[in-house]
Amino acid sequence: MNWHEIDQKAKQWIYEAGERIRQSFQQKLVVEAKSGPNDLVTNIDREVEHFFWENIRKTFPEHSILGEEGSGHELKSLDGIVWIIDPIDGTMNFVHQKRNFCISVAVFADGVGQIGLIYDVVRDEMYHAIRGNGAYLNKTELPPLQKKTIEESIIGLNASWLVENRRIDPAILSPLVKRLRGTRSFGSAALEFAYVAAGKLDGYITMRLAPWDFAAGLILVDEVGGVTTTLDGKPVDLLKKQSIFTANQTIHQQIIEEYIKGKI
Ligand code: 2AM
Ligand code: CA
Ligand code: CA
Ligand code: CA
């Protein structure tokens, strides 16, 4: 099997799962809180992850799987081929809005991202990339990211990081927010990555993401010449939760130099 064949299978499963999710809008959801009242999971999140798990296990028994709703949480290394899956990214949006959520699927080989797929189920928009082959939105290739100044940039940023919180002093990001053209918060990290890849956002900053939130997005952003690191500019770790900053190259470096370095 080559990457194109694996990509075709993955897309087929994503479209099937998307159809299942759209059907679920007609049914009653079972919503549970996980770590707290804002940390939701539904029967559909679990069902979709199980659907991928079964298909991957049957088709590629030698591959490993890491998924938000329980698959592979014991995984200690990225050796071999690893699927990193978020069955629904933006579960709160899925429950409250029935939009602004996606399925995120990435395939890594020995730690290198090979396939990145982010599917906006309601808009029927598939953001997809195979390493070295460019990134696409449905059938349209996404152009390389343009050079931007901070003043011309819109950044994805949740308001949580601008009020008292456990992870960052709000005084660090507020001068940046003043200088930017604007901020947006979509409530789905994977979609925010896809928007950075598509030039709809110029960057996205968050203090805590899990690998399944950003694995596919990282590959998409990479393919259009963007950069993804932790907020303090360190390489990301695909087996850990961490802060994340993805952006086009120019503002990525400038924002770290002027606003972050030495402050966190
Ligand atoms: P989820 O919907 O799959 O849980 C919301 O701002 C974004 O952050 C979503 O992508 C959401 O993914 C993710 N998210 C929610 N809770 C999180 C947590 N405790 N740690 C890391 N990411 C989280
Ligand atoms: Ca979750
Ligand atoms: Ca997620
Ligand atoms: Ca999820």
**Ligand 1 atom having least distance to the Cα of 191:** 10
DSSP string, the chain: --HHHHHHHHHHHHHHHHHHHHHHTTS---EEESSSTT-EEEHHHHHHHHHHHHHHHHH-TT-EEEETTSTTTT-----SEEEEEEEEE-HHHHHHTS-S-EEEEEEEETTEEEEEEEEETTTTEEEEEETTS-EEETTEEPPPPPP--GGG-EEEE-GGGGSS-SSS-HHHHHHHHHHSSEEE--S-HHHHHHHHHTTSSSEEEEEEE-HHHHHHHHHHHHHTTEEEE-TTSPPP-TTS-EEEEEEEHHHHHHHIIIIITTT-
| Tens-digit pLDDT profile for residues 127-178 | 999 999 999 999 999 999 999 999 999 999 999 999 999 999 999 999 999 9
Q: Of the bound ligands, which one is closest to the alpha carbon of residue 241? A: 1
Mean pLDDT of the chain: 97
Tens-digit pLDDT profile for residues 183-204 = 999 999 999 999 999 999 999 9
Residues within 5 A (CB) of ion ligand 4: 68, 86, 88
**Ligand 1 centroid – CA 1 distance (Å):** 33
pLDDT tier, 98 (very low <50, low <70, confident <90, very high otherwise)? very high
Digit-coded pLDDT (tens) for 243-258: 999 999 999 999 999 9
Q: Region 78-105: what's the mean pLDDT?
A: 98
Considering only CA atoms, which residue is closest to atom 15 of ligand 1? 39
pLDDT in tens, 15-64: 999 999 999 999 999 999 999 999 999 999 999 999 999 999 999 999 99
Q: Is the pTM of this model over 0.95?
A: yes
Q: What is the pLDDT of residue 1?
A: 73
Q: Which whole number is the average pLDDT over 210-237?
A: 98
pLDDT one-digit tens code per residue, 68-89: 999 999 999 999 999 999 999 9
Query: Who lines ligand 1 at CB under 6 A?
Result: 39, 68, 86, 89-91, 158, 187-189, 208-210, 213, 241
6 — pLDDT class (breaks 50, 70, 90): very high
Instruction: Give the domains, in start order, of the chain with CATH numbers.
Output: 3-141 (3.30.540.10), 150-260 (3.40.190.80)
